[in-house]
Structure formats: structure tokens, C-alpha cells
Structure 1
Amino acid sequence: IRSVLLFEETLPRQFVVQAEKIKEDYENFLSLYQWKIPLKTNYILLMGFLSLLIIFAALWVSLKISNWISVPIQKLAYATEQIARGDLDVRVELKRDDEIGMLVDSFNRMVRELKEIKLSLENAYLESDRRRVCFENIVENIDSGVVSVDEQGRVVTVNSTACRILGLKAGDLVNRGYEEVFNYIESEELRQYVKGIRLSEFGSATKQFDVKIGGQMRVLKFFISNLKDVQGHSLGLLVVFEDITELLKAQQALAWQEVARRMAHEIKNPLTPIKLSAERILKKWRRGDDDIGAVVEGATNTIIKEVEQLQRMVNEFSRLGRLPQIKKTVTRIEQIIEELKHIYRDFEQRISFEIDGSIPEVMLDRDQIKRALMNLIDNAVAATNGDENILIRVNYSENSKQLIVVVADNGIGVKEEDRDKLFLPYFSRKKGGTGLGLAIVHKIITDHGGEITVEDNQPKGTIFTIKLPV
């Protein structure tokens, strides 16, 4: 330094104060600037700590919320798996007032109801199984044959009695078509009847058929019923049948015993006046009475009258005994009615015929049905006088599959107490009657598997109704 220049100037006080303040502020700045990095570091650390704290708090809260929701769901899922394995005693223990609590309560209620339903079903199954076993034992041990057929015509059930009657084993028929039955039963009438059954229209029926089983003629009585569910849909047929061959033989033996007893009684009745008349003639002849001629004439007339009565009775008895075996053929009932019209043409003013034109052909014995109708018409003619009428009406019932023949008159009628005896042999209220006419009619109709009933006509008279299966 060669030289120094000094100069001095007096500055204003204000300026100096400001300069000192600036200097002081600068020094403060320098002092504070030294704290910049430490403060920044501390701030960063504090913010990082607070951020971590907030994150951890959020995670804790989210975990709590997740557990609050997921744990009940997991319990429900586990309980569902237990139920799927069949454990209906499982329960989800959780008491909450929110939607999850409502869901758990509903789940527990559902499980409780499922358990009750399961117990109910188990009890119902046990009861059903008990009834099934009981029913099977009953079916297996009854004296009637039982065969059930489903809606496709396959045999479902065959009991031991049916096997015994038909001479087969259950395995020969079960799960096979019902047509297989006719390999063991020979009956065209039964075959045609079964073929004519329509499940949609059929209800039930009781029929009697003459069949051949193993080369022997048997009489089987069938009860056939259409099995239906609660909606009325057909499930198939139940066929119950029994062999009544021996029963019919026993009934016939008893019937003939009764006929013989009644015959002996009826023969005794005319024998008494014949004996008395003969004794009177002998007595008069021995004494030589003058009126022996008149006595002989009167007694002879009595004897002749009683002998004629005996002859009529014997003739009727012969007719009853000579009734041939039923021989059914396809017949049109209209042809029989036309023949009856011709036979009773002298009574055309009193007898009228009504025929339903929609009558199908019928399997019956033409001659015997004609004889039965003639007996009924003869009785009606005898019960009416010249101004009283007789109606023969023939129609066909589609519902019951029956031919219905009605013989109605407005004559003297039948007493109430006599109705149950009308068809018994030798019962008659008609003077000179043998009591065999209606017995013959009844036998013919029942041999055809039909029935005959009697009721009052209105305002008077009698109605005989014949129902024959078609």
C-alpha cells in the first residue's frame, strides 16, 4: 500500500441506526441459517413419524373393521360346511344389532328349522317304512292275489297268493308287460276287458270271469281300481283277485240242499188234498152211498188240479236244473229286443220298448238273456190288467261300462217285506206260482257277472233293473 486516502463525512443518525439494524439482522440470519439443515431434518423426521403413526393407525382400524366383518362371515362359512356334512347342531354365537347380527340370527333360525324338518322327515320316513313293511306283510299274507301295474302297463307287485293261484313265480311277471299274465290265464273275455280299460276314464270295477289256469277251469273274482295321486293323475292299476271256484261249489251245494228242502215241502202241500180226496172216494164206495158219483167227480177234479200243480212245479224245477253253462258270444241287444217284440206282439198296446241307439256289442249268452227277459215280462203281464202299461228300456252307461235293461210296470207292485225273498227258489205270492221264475232270472244274470235289483215304480208298480258288464 503506497498511500491511504482518508476522508470523513458525518452521516445522519437515522442512516446509522438502519445500518446497525441491517447488520444485526444479517448476523441473525447467519445465525439462523446455521439451523436450517437441523430444523429441516427434524421436520422431516417429525412428518415421517406422524405419517407412520397415521398409517399404522389406519392399518389397525382397517384390520379391526375387517375382523369385524370377516370373522362372522368365516364363522358362517364354517357353519355352512358343517351343515353340508350333515351336522345340524351347529350354531354361530354372535350378538350384534347390525346387519351382520341379523344375518347370523337368520342363519341360526334357518338351521334350527332345517333340523326340525329333518327330524320330521326322519319320523315320516320311519312311519312310512313301518307302514310299508306292515302293508307288504298284509299283502303278502292275505288270501287274495294282488297285482299292481304302472301307467306304462308294467307289472310292479305280485304277492305270493297271486303266484300260487296263477302257478308262477314273482320274477316271471315283475317289470314285464301285463300281457305276460295271459300266458298263465286263458280267458278271451278277461283279455278283451283289460284291453278296453282307459286309465283316464276308468275308476274301479268288480268282475267275475271263468278262466283256465294250468288246463283247469277256475272262477276268479276281480276287483280292479285305478290308482291316482293327489292331483288326480293315474299311477296305474291295482288288481285284487281271488279263486272262488270252491266257494261257488259250496254255495251251489247249499243252494241245492235248500232247493231239495223246499221241493219236498212243496210236494207235500198237494199230496194232502190228493190223499184226502182218495180216502173220501174209498169211504163212499165202501159204504155204497148214493152220492158217490158226485163225490168221485169232485175228488177227481181236486186230484187232477193238484197233480197239474205238481206237474208245473216239476217242469219249473227241471228248467232250473237244466240251465246250461253260460256261453257268451258277441251279441247285439237290439236283436234280442226285436225278437221279444215279435213274441209279445199280441200285447203291443200294453208293452212299449225304448232302445238307446248307441249301445255297443256285448259278450253274453243270447238265449239265456232272452229267457230272463221273457220271465220278467211274463211276470209284468201277470201283475197288470188291460189298462196298465209295461215299459222295457235299454241303454248303455258310458261311465260304468254297463248295459242297463229296465222292465217297469204300473201293476200291483211288490210288498216291502217280500223284496229280499223275491229271487229265492220257491218263493211266490202269485196264485199257482212255483217261485222259480225269478230264481232262474237271478241265476242267469249273476252267471253273466251282472246284478238285478227291484224297486217301487211311481205312483205304483214295480221296476226290475238289470246291469250287465260290457
Structure 2
Amino acid sequence: MLKKMKNFSLQLKIMAIFLTMSILLTLTLGLMFYNNTAQNVKQNKENEIKTLAAETSNKIERFLFEREADIQVVAQSQILTMPQIDRETKRQYLANVINNYQTYDEMFVLDQLGQIVLSATFSGGNLPLESDELFKQNPDILGKILSGKPFISDVLSEEDQSQWFILFSEPLVDDRGQAVGAVVERMNFDAIDEIIANVKLGEVGYARLMPSDQNYGVSYELLECVNHLTVRVPIIKYETQFKQWMLFLSEPTEEAFALIYDIRIYFGLVFVITLIILFLVSNYLSGRITRPIRTLKSHMGELLETHKLNMALAYEGSSDEVKQLTHTFDFLLEELSFMVQKTMEKTGEAESVKSVKASLDAMIDHAVTGIVTIDGKGIITSVNPRIKEILKADHDDVLVGLSIGKEGHQRFDALFQILYESILVEKQLVDVSCLIKNPEVELVVSTLIQKDIYQTPLGVTVLLQSAEERERFEHSVIRAKKLSELGELSAGVAHEIRNPLASIKGYTQMAIREVDKQSDAYHDLGIVLNEVDRLDRLVERFLSFASPNAPHYKSGDMNQLVSEVIKVLNQQILAKKIEVVLEFDSASSFEYDVDQMKQVLLNLLINAIQASEVGGTIKVQTLLYEDEGRFSLLITNDGDIIDDDLIERIFTPFFTTRKGGSGLGLAICARIIENHHGTIELISSKDTGTTFAISLPTKKGLLL
């Protein structure tokens, strides 16, 4: 009996080991599966709600853009300013606009004294001509409407807040160019409310439009004692508006992540079933394992008792059991090897880690943002090459080895002070301004605090940007977005113009063959054909701006391309006796679309020639920044200085200060540079002249 108990105890030990290993393996794989699945579900849900918010905000912004375009069209119409058109016809024109769009509650015209001289409402009625409750409630709006500039109000409401609306206004100018008042449209919120109402977020999720100064993005918040997944997306804010409105989407996390809860229940059920199966299997296998061991022990005892040591330990089935045991261990080793391999693939092998680290180091070295690392003792351990340019320092390692906790660093005391204070309270900085002197540089500072598993600070990563460069970059992004949106609208308009032009040309060609060549009609029809061809060429240029071709990248020498373009324009340069100064970098080869960049250079150099006085100077500079992965091209002329208000509009389609110009050349240049993922800026001052500054990435359109 005691011998049986000992054997049974061995079986229990084997069962315990097998169950423990199996359960740990099952739990490890199950938890990995569950965590990955839950993380994917969470990420997908966040991406889904962000995409929904972005699409909805784009719809709202497109709707507001169309309303802005409506008032511009109405203001540019001669109907409202021509004295020979009677009042009723003008009022009917406003009523037709309202009824066609069904978006405006009313439209009215103000004279220069702020009196309503003409009005129409959606119902077909008139507003009181002496005054309006709107201006009584918002007295500051009247002055902005009559300022002679376009005006878009904040979101306003009636006194009882029963209806929300926005005012769009444009100045009215008669045929002599004199301001005679303004036209105002009052846009209701019905269409925007309908856009928001169409947002579906489960059963109880909702979307709202509200003013907010909070940071936008995805967050988790406690709303009405319930955890919610929320996302805030800013709606476009016009220059004349004060409040920032945001689209707010919210869904209870219990509903948003219902799939995770179902997976958790399913995982628990599978684990219980697996545990039962493992128990039964372990009981069976432990018996199979211990049985041949007991048999082998008994056989060995018999051999020892009989002293037949030279006999083989053979009995029926013994060889199979040993093989099965060996195969079982081999199988377990193979399984363990497979698990280790998969784990290494999941977490990354040592060589992969080194490769990733090398890639990260290269990315940091080529980043356009200055990066500084500080260890736990407050000692600066490293800086990237960009720091030298941002801080206007003499060498890259000017900060390495300094302690931010000590004073006496002169130039960097202000920077070190805010870094030291943020580390003391363990508070991360986000876009904090800082001014260093000698030379003076305004910085934008952000920090990332690294902590260990016990939340003890290990060090800080500091991100530094020049405030001036950041502002220029943001302006460039906004301009690129506006040009892209205008390009989409322009493409449709250009195609609509081209179709009737083709019909006009066809009918004119038919008509010209039917008339006498000596008649006035033949001469007039020839003029029509010439004008149609001119319009077709203008539409072609318009389409070049609206739908530019994707860049075809190949390696080219920018210095050589500049020289070729200057040779093409040599006659114009000689005619005005202009001196061309070339300051080329020794290295100027990188990948770009040669034909498109040649078009950019032609436009910019022609502009520079036309802007220069007789005997003036044009300077062309090229600079290759290998560490930053970008190429800079500067074209400077010493002509008249361009005002700041014109600089803001210089890349706008159809804007030109030159008589006879189409206003598309610089707009097309901006689109080409944008498609190369680069930037173009215009800088004009008395000291340096007027400069077009182009910055291009050097790696197939990808800025490192």
C-alpha cells in the first residue's frame, strides 16, 4: 500500500508540473492575445472616431467656405450697385439667392451710415429699413461690417438662444471703385445641425459643436459619472472671429469597447474549458508516464535479484515507452524553441534592436527640430546637429556637459531656469516660449520626462524650435492647405468653362466658313476665335495650378539648372542691363522633378527681372544642408519693396500687380513646391531687398 502511495505521489507531482506549465503557457499566450486584441480594438475605435470627427469637420468647413464664396459672388455682382436697376429688381435678386441656396434666413444691404437700404428674407418679406435688433444686440458688429473689408462673425444667437447663426459680409464698390456700403448674409445653422445630426456613435454617443479652448485630440473623460471616449477637432477659425469652435464627439467607453468585454468573457470561458481539458489530459499522461517507470523498476529488481546483469532490460513495450518519453521531451524542446523564436520575433532580436537604434539616431541627427537629452543629474548628455543653427552657436557641442542646475552660463540661463523648474516639479513643458540673448533667439521649448517602472525620473528629452521658423512653417502649412482646397474647386470650374468654350469655337468655325472673307462679320468672327484660343490657354494654365502633375523624381544638379534658365533669359537680362550674381554651393545634386523646377525658376527669375530697375542686381544662392536633408535656393532682387499685405496674397491665384499678368505664375510655383513637400516664402525689406526662399527635401520628396 505504501509503495502504491509513493507511486501515486509521483503521478501527482507530474500532474502538478504538467498542469502548472500548461496553465502558465495558456495564460501567457491568452493574455498576449487578449492584450493585443484589446489594444487593436481600442486603437481601431479611436481611429474610427477620429476619422468620423475629421470627416464631419471637413464637411462643416466646406459648407462655411461655400457660404464665404456666396457672399463674394453677390458682392462682385453689379446688380446691387448699378443705379439704373430699380429697388424691387435688386430685392428680387437677393430673394432668388436665398431661395436657391435655402441656407440663409435673410440678406440685406447697408449704406455707409449703417442703414439697411435693401433686404430680403427666406419667407420673402423685408426687414425694417431703419434699424435691426441684430445690431442692437451686437453693436460692435456694425463697425466691422462697414470697415471696407470682408467680415465673418462668431456664432451668434437670438436673445432666447432659439436660433444660432453666422454673419458673412463683403464691401460693395460701385463702378468708380468707391465704397457704397456692404452686403450681409445671415446663415442659419440648419445645414450644420443636419451634418452633426448625421454623426452616428452607437446607441447613446453624440456629437456637438461648441466653443472651447481645450486641446484637441482623443481623450478619456468622466462625463455625468460615466467614462467616455471623446475627441475634439477644431473648426476653421477666420481672422475676424474671436472664439475657437470645436466639434466634440463622445461615446461611453462601455459601449465603444463592448467588443473588448465580450472578448474578456470569451477568454474566461475558454480558459475554464482549457483547464478542465488540461486536467483530464495530465491525469492520463501522468499515468502513461509513470506506468512504464514502475514496470521498468520491477523488471530491474528481478534482474538484480537473479544477478543477470548481462541481460538486456527488455520487456514487451519497453522500447516504445522510452521512445515516447524521448519524443515527448524532444517535442517539448521544439515547442519551447518555437516559443522563444516567436517571442524574439515579437520583442526584437539584438541585431534588430541595434538596427532600430541606429535608425533612431539617424532620424534624430536629421530632424529639423533641435533635440537635447539631459540625464537624471541635470547634465546635458547630447545634442543633435540642428541645435547649432537654432541657437546660432559656433559649434554643435556647445551645451554638452553643462549642468542646468548651476548658474553662470550667461546666454542659456533663461533656458536652463525653466528646464530646471519643470524637472523639479516633474512637469512636462509644451510649447513654452523662452528668449536667449547674444545673439537674441526666441525659442519654443517642449520636454519629455523619462521615468522607470517606479516613476522615478531618469532624464529629460528637450525639443527646441525657433519661434520665427515655426511661425513661418505654420503659415506655409496654412497657405498650402488653402491652395489645395482652392485647387480642388478650381479644377471643376476650369472644366466647366472649357466645355462651352469648345462649343463656341466649333460654332464660330462653322460660321466663319459661311461668310464672305471681305465682310466685317468675317473679321469679327476671327476676333472671337482668337479670344476663345486666349481663354483656352488661360484655362490650361488654370488647370496646371488646379491639378499639377505628381513630381517625377530623378537626380539633377540644381546649379546647372539655374545656369540653363539664366541663359534662356539672357536677352531680357541684357535689355535691362541687370547684373546677375551667382553664389553656388559646391554640392547641389539631389532628386527632384527637373521639368517642374525649371518652370519654377523661369517664373521666379522673370518676376525678378521685371521687378528690377535698369542696371539693377539679381542674386541667386544655393545651399545644401546634408545634415538636415534639405536644399535651399534664394533669388533676390533690389527692386521696390513689397508691402506685408501684398506678401500674404502673392501666391493667391489671379492676384497680380503687373498689368497684363494672369496671376497664375506664382500660384503654380507654390503648388509645385508643395508637391515636392517643400516650402516657398517671400521676404521683402529695405536692407536685403526682395527674396524668394525655397526649401526642398533631398530624399525623393521625403524631408528627414
Relative to its length, the structure with more helix (as a share) is: 1
Give the TM bin, normalised by the shorter chain: 0.3 to 0.5
TM-score for the superposition, normalised by structure 2: 0.29
Q: TM-score, normalised by structure 1?
A: 0.42
